[in-house]
Structure 1
Amino acid sequence: MTTAFANNSAASALPTPPTGWPIGSYDTYEQAQRAVDFLADREFPVQDITIVGAEPMLVERVTGRLTWGRVLGAAAASGAWFGLFVGILLSLFTVGGGWLPIAIGLVGGVGASMIFAAISYASTRGKRDFVSQSQLVARRYDVLCQPRNAEAGRNLLYSLG
């Protein structure tokens, strides 16, 4: 009996747990990547390898303090680029427009962007006065290999140290 999803390519793209035997475990992704590169340099069949990040963590690194000056300055810069773009488009499609549409677009972009940024920042009422970057990292990175080549891979990685 076949189903409607038997040959569906979307069904084969669903997330699946990794398979294979562990041949190495590393503290950083860079170390795991170096191990796989080492195997590739020795003509190991790396298509049998999977790097698995175990115990994922969301790490938020604070990069600075958020102030009114920083908020409005970033908004002005962003608005200037958008306003300049709109102004150039207006000048291209306005007969005898010259520099006036560009200036209007630039001033309008800066003004609108600063107003929206001010409203947005004021609405937080100081609950998030910092800038940060989030990153998904793992506590460790395991290198898995399909059973047919796992022992050879483990022996090669042992020689890496």
Structure 2
Amino acid sequence: MTHAFSRTAFSTTQQTPQLPTMPTGWPIASYNSYAEAQRAVDHLADKDFPVQDVTIVGVDPLLVERVSARLTWGKVLLSGAMSGAWFGLFVGLLLSFFTPGAGLAPILIGLVSGVAFGMAFSAAGYAATRGRRDFVSHSQLVASRYDVLCQPRNAESGRDLLAQLAMSARGF
């Protein structure tokens, strides 16, 4: 016997929009970090507040690219050799499992081939940049502040609970 569940069987009073839409609600608190905003919403959840009415909004988004290392030919080739070795070792192991009596030959061939191809592809990619990107970096999307919004029906009680949280954090 099969059961058919409708989408509305598990829905809440407020549906999450499927398309990008502007957030709605009244601001009940503002924080300098996402972690602080998360802590505030967690506090609301701990107090049995209807958190489905709450939205965290990052205001003034920034793309931050943090440079972590200088890129050199040695690092490029070593990185290519390492990633190629792992892939080649994986392929060699698969081949050795499905080739009876092959011994270590498929593993060694896969390893050596992986190192060679990994270095070749890494070198080709790095050469294509022609020295315009001689560094490694990681990008993050951050905001200058994080507002906690709440639907009007519960905004006042949410603001009161977050004021209590702020007071307890300051030791009052």
Percent of aligned pairs sharing the same letter = 69
1:46 shift after superposition: 1.0
Instruction: Give, in whole Å, the separation in 1 of the partners of 2:125 and 2:50.
Output: 53
Matched residue count = 150
Partner of 1:34: 39
Instruction: Give, in whole Å, the separation in 2 of the partners of 1:120 and 1:40.
Output: 49
Instruction: Give, in whole Å, the separation in 2 of the partners of 1:45 and 1:94.
Output: 60
Partner of 1:4: none
Partner of 1:96: 101
3-state secondary structure, aligned to 1:80:
helix
Partner of 2:88: 83
Instruction: Give, in whole Å, the separation in 2 of the partners of 1:14 and 1:142.
Output: 21
**Does residue 136 of structure 1 match 2:141?**
yes
Instruction: Give, in whole Å, the separation in 2 of the partners of 1:88 and 1:157.
Output: 56
CA RMSD of aligned residues (A): 1.0
3-state secondary structure, aligned to 1:52:
strand
* TM-score where L is the length of structure 2: 0.84
Instruction: Give, in whole Å, the separation in 2 of the partners of 1:32 and 1:92.
Output: 51
Segments ≥4 residues shifted beyond 4 Å = none
Partner of 1:16: 21
**Does residue 50 of structure 1 match 2:50?**
no
* TM-score where L is the length of structure 1: 0.90
Instruction: Give, in whole Å, the separation in 1 of the partners of 2:121 and 2:48.
Output: 56
Partner of 2:8: none
